Structure 1
Amino acid sequence: MHNQTPVQIAWVTRDLDATEAALSALTGARKWVRMPGVHFGPDGCTYRGAPADFVADISLSYAGDTQLELIAPVSGPSIYTEFLDRAGPGLHHVCLAFPDVDGFEAAVAAAGRDGNPTVMAGTMPGGMRFAYVSADHAGVPYLEYAYLPPEIHAFFDHIKQEQK
């Protein structure tokens, strides 16, 4: 279906400080950029088919060309709180980025046709679109598909340059 290298590995945690420190030591990530209180609201995000309303603290870094993302839920139900409740802190998803909206939408639609439903989706400020699909029955809790417009690429490139 896709011939892409994942661009991001993400963990869900209750303690950003501890997870940043562990991943810095294990991967060589140098600087983390925190985005506290990111609101995923009902106008831009769905969770299990209904309007979403939750807040998470997010931290980003890089190990080489791979983005590392840490997500610490703050309030409201989400796939992040579900994961913490079910499995505790840990590896949550990998992300595949598509070069255009059409490729992103085609991948999400194909996953659904193949029995891997979208469990959370939305559009972030700056136009980034994301959809988490699940193949939980096969041991794949979440795979994130994303479309990253030029402004978001520039922001991520800035974070990557901070590692040098």
Structure 2
Amino acid sequence: MADQTPVQIAWVTTDLDATENALTTLLGARKWVRVPDVHFGPETCTYRGRPADFTADISFSYAGDTQLELIAPVAGDSVYSEFLDRAGAGLHHICREVDDIDAAIGPAEVVQRGTMPGGMEFAYVSAHSAGVPYIEFAHIPPEIRVFFDYVKQEQQ
């Protein structure tokens, strides 16, 4: 069973270098691992109830046991580009790992949902009343866990 505590804090940015540098200084992240041009296609992702087609550059690190994720939208409409348009760069979501996304979501408003390349299922729900724009629920398969373990090991 997945841990019920948040496993990730994520920011949306227009400048991965500057955000990496700031969080390295502020949170002690040592090394960032970038994954450029991650494509989310309409066959695996929805945004506000419609098929989505977008690309983002993503960077990962760790501060202790907490994963740090930076997302820089490149093309297409998504929960990330919408956030930049409305609020500018900043804290975007926290993520909680779950075994069953549908059960975790319950009646919450799903803003974006899909499956990442590599098979990680995710869903973003609006969480403004909790003081953060979104909460992401994620089911992390073994293939993605191996990658996350690699990123974490790079911090040592």
Question: Where does residue 42 of structure 1 map in the other structure?
Answer: 42
Q: Distance in 2 between matches of 1:40 and 1:106?
A: 23
- 1:129-148 counterparts in 2 under 5 A? 129-136=121-128, 139-148=131-140
Question: Where does residue 59 of structure 2 map in the other structure?
Answer: 59
What residue ranges of structure 2 are gaps of 5+ in the alignment?
A: none
Quick one: which amino acid aligns to residue 147 of structure 1? H
Question: Where does residue 104 of structure 2 map in the other structure?
Answer: 107
Q: Distance in 2 between matches of 1:75 and 1:33?
A: 21
Q: Distance in 2 between matches of 1:148 and 1:96?
A: 10
Shift of 1:124: 1.4
1:154 is the counterpart of 2:146: yes
TM-align CA RMSD? 1.5
Q: Which runs of 4+ in 1 moved over 4 A?
A: none
Shift of 1:137: 5.2
- Cα gap change, 1:138 to 1:23, in 2 (>3 Å): closer
Shift of 1:138: 5.5
What residue ranges of structure 1 are gaps of 5+ in the alignment?
A: none
- Cα gap change, 1:33 to 1:138, in 2 (>3 Å): closer
Question: Where does residue 76 of structure 1 map in the other structure?
Answer: 76
Question: Where does residue 126 of structure 1 map in the other structure?
Answer: 118
Contact 2:92 2:132 (8 Å CA) reproduced: no
Report how many aligned residue pairs link the two structures: 155
Q: Distance in 1 between matches of 2:89 and 2:78?
A: 14
Shift of 1:127: 1.6
TM (norm. structure 1) is: 0.90
TM (norm. structure 2) is: 0.94
Question: Where does residue 117 of structure 1 map in the other structure?
Answer: 109
- Cα gap change, 1:153 to 1:138, in 2 (>3 Å): closer
Q: Distance in 2 between matches of 1:140 and 1:58?
A: 20
